[in-house]
C-alpha cells in the first residue's frame, strides 16, 4: 500500500500535505479508497483514507468493517486503522489534518456532500484536486492486480463458453442475463461488474441496451456483454452469436468485426497513442460496406471498476504503457437488423499484449 501512495504523490506537483479519499454510501464509494487500502470485502460506507507523502496511510473505518480492516492492515506497518462511529468521523478527520495545510481530494469520485462537509469542517485548509494523478497511478497495474483481473476474466470467459448451451427458442433476454449472472457466481464471482447486456435481433444494434422480456427466436443474432467482479477487480467481455438459420449479412458482419479486432490488437504495444489502436479497427470497418457503423471508442481501461478512468478513441493521444489493462471491443451496428461486438480484456506487455479473456471469438451459429 505504501508503494501505491508513493506512486500517487510522485505524480502530484506541487505536492499536498496529504491526499484525502472519502466514501459516501453505496454506490457512491470512491474506488480509489480501495486502491490505497487493499481490502477484499466490505462496503466501508462513510470511511476516510488519509495518505501522506512518506507513504503512510491512515484509515478511518466504522465498527461494521473493523475486523476486515484490521485483517487487511495487520501485515502492513505503513497502514494505521482507526475505528470510529459515524458521529465521530469529523473529529477524527480534524485530528489527522492540521489547520492551514494543503490537502488534495479525488474530485472524480468525491460526492458534493462530502466536499461541502470538509470545507465547513476545515475552513482554513486549501483543497486541491488529485484525481488526474490518481487516475494515472491506477492505469498501470501491479502483477498482483493483473492476477486478480485474470481471475475475473477467467470467470467471464467460462460463462462465455457456456452461453451457446443456454440458448433455446423462447428464452428471454432477461432470463439469459439472469442465468449468466448466476453462473458467474457459481464460478467464483462476488458479483457482476456492470449491468449485463443481452440483446436479441434488432436490439443488438444498441451498444448499451438493457435486456427485456423479449424471447429468442430462430434467425436472431445475439450480443452478450457482461463481466464479473473478483476481489474487487472487474472483467468485461462481449461475445456475439447467431441462433438458427444463417443470416449471410450477419456472418459477414461478424467476420469484419473479428478482422477489426485483430487489426486493433496488432497495433497494441507500449508507447503507441490510444488513437492508433482505435483507428486500426476503424480502418477495417470503414473499408467494408458498413462504413460509419462503429459508433463508440474501441476500448477503455479496466480495473477496480469496469471503466477504470481511461478510454481511447480517434483523438486520444495518451500512450499505452506496460501494465495497462484495457479492453479491445470493435463493433458494427445495423439499426432494425442487429449488431456484432467482440470484446476482450488484455494487458499491455513490453512486446505487445497478453489476453486475459479466453472464450472463443470466432463466429458461432447455434442450432435452433
Q: What is the pLDDT of residue 76?
A: 92
Taking each continuous run of H as one helix and of E as one strand, the counts in the chain are: 10, 20
User: CATH top-level class for 143-366?
Assistant: alpha beta
Q: What is the mean pLDDT of the chain?
A: 96
Same CATH topology for 2-138 and 143-366: the answer is no
Closest among 298, 269, 300, 273 to 285, alpha carbons compared = 298
Architecture of the 2-138 domain: 3-Layer(aba) Sandwich (3.40)
The domain limits of the chain are 2-138, 143-366
For residue 273, pLDDT over 90 is answered with: yes
Q: What is the pLDDT of residue 40?
A: 86
Phi then psi for 352, rounded to 5 degrees?
A: 155, -100
Q: What is the pLDDT of residue 346?
A: 98
For residue 1, pLDDT over 90 is answered with: no
Q: What is the pLDDT of residue 203?
A: 98
Closest among 270, 245, 282 to 346, alpha carbons compared = 270
- 25 pLDDT tier (thresholds 50, 70, 90): very high
Q: What is the pLDDT of residue 340?
A: 98
pLDDT per position as a tens digit, 280-324: 999 999 999 999 999 999 999 999 999 999 999 999 999 999 999
- 158 pLDDT tier (thresholds 50, 70, 90): very high
Closest among 77, 28, 40, 36 to 60, alpha carbons compared = 36
Distance CA 197, CA 213 (A): 13
Give the count of beta carbons closer than 10 Å to the beta carbon of residue 170: 8
Once rounded to an integer, what is the mean pLDDT over residues 4-13?
96
Once rounded to an integer, what is the mean pLDDT over residues 121-150?
96
Q: What is the pLDDT of residue 48?
A: 97
Q: What is the pLDDT of residue 99?
A: 87
pLDDT per position as a tens digit, 198-214: 999 999 999 999 999 99
Q: What is the pLDDT of residue 117?
A: 95
Phi then psi for 12, rounded to 5 degrees?
A: -100, 130
- Three-state secondary-structure class, residue 328: strand
pLDDT per position as a tens digit, 69-89: 999 999 899 999 999 998 899
Query: Is the pTM for the entire model greater than 0.75?
Result: yes
Q: Which residues of 55-81 are buried (b: 16+ CB within 10 A; e: fewer)?
A: bbbbbbbbebbeebbeebbeeeeebeb
Once rounded to an integer, what is the mean pLDDT over residues 344-364?
97
Amino acid at each position: 500500500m505504501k508503494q501505491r501512495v508513493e506512486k500517487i504523490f510522485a505524480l502530484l506537483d506541487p505536492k499536498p500535505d496529504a491526499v484525502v479519499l472519502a466514501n459516501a454510501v453505496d454506490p457512491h464509494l470512491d474506488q480509489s479508497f480501495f486502491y490505497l487500502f487493499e481490502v477484499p470485502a466490505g462496503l466501508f460506507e462513510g470511511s476516510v483514507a488519509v495518505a501522506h507523502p512518506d507513504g503512510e496511510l491512515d484509515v478511518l473505518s466504522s465498527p461494521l468493517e473493523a475486523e476486515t480492516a484490521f485483517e487487511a492492515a495487520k501485515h502492513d506497518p505503513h497502514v494505521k486503522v482507526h475505528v470510529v462511529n459515524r458521529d465521530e468521523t469529523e473529529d477524527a478527520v480534524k485530528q489527522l489534518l492540521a489547520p492551514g495545510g494543503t490537502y488534495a481530494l479525488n474530485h472524480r469520485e468525491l460526492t458534493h456532500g462530502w466536499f461541502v462537509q470538509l470545507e465547513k469542517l476545515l475552513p482554513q485548509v486549501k483543497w486541491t484536486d488529485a484525481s488526474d494523478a490518481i487516475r494515472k497511478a491506477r492505469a498501470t497495474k501491479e502483477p498482483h492486480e493483473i492476477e486478480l483481473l485474470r481471475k475475473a476474466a477467467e470467470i467471464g470467459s467460462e460463462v462465455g463458453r457456456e452461453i451457446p448451451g443456454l440458448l433455446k427458442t423462447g428464452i428471454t433476454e432477461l432470463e439469459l442475463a439472469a442465468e449468466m449472472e448466476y453462473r458467474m457466481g457459481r464460478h467464483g464471482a462476488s458479483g457482476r461488474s456492470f449491468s449485463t447486456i443481452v440483446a436479441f435481433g434488432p436490439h443488438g444494434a444498441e451498444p448499451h441496451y438493457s435486456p427485456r422480456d423479449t424471447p429468442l427466436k430462430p434467425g436472431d443474432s445475439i450480443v452478450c456483454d457482461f463481466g464479473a467482479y473478483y476481489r474487487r477487480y472487474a472483467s468485461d467481455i462481449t461475445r456475439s452469436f447467431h441462433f438458427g438459420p444463417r443470416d449471410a449479412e450477419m456472418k459477414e458482419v461478424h467476420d469484419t468485426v473479428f478482422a477489426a479486432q485483430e487489426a486493433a490488437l496488432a497495433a497494441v504495444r507500449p508507447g503507441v497513442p490510444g488513437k492508433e489502436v482505435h483507428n486500426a479497427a476503424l480502418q477495417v470497418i470503414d473499408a467494408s460496406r458498413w462504413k460509419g457503423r462503429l459508433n463508440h471508442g474501441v476500448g477503455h481501461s479496466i480495473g477496480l471498476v469496469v471503466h477504470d478512468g481511461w478510454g481511447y478513441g480517434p483523438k486520444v493521444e495518451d500512450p499505452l504503457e506496460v501494465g495497462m489493462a484495457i479492453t479491445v471491443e470493435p463493433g458494427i451496428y445495423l439499426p432494425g437488423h442487429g449488431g456484432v461486438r467482440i470484446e476482450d480484456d488484455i494487458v499491455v506487455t513490453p512486446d505487445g499484449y497478453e489476453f486475459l479473456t479466453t472464450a472463443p471469438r470466432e463466429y458461432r451459429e447455434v442450432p435452433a
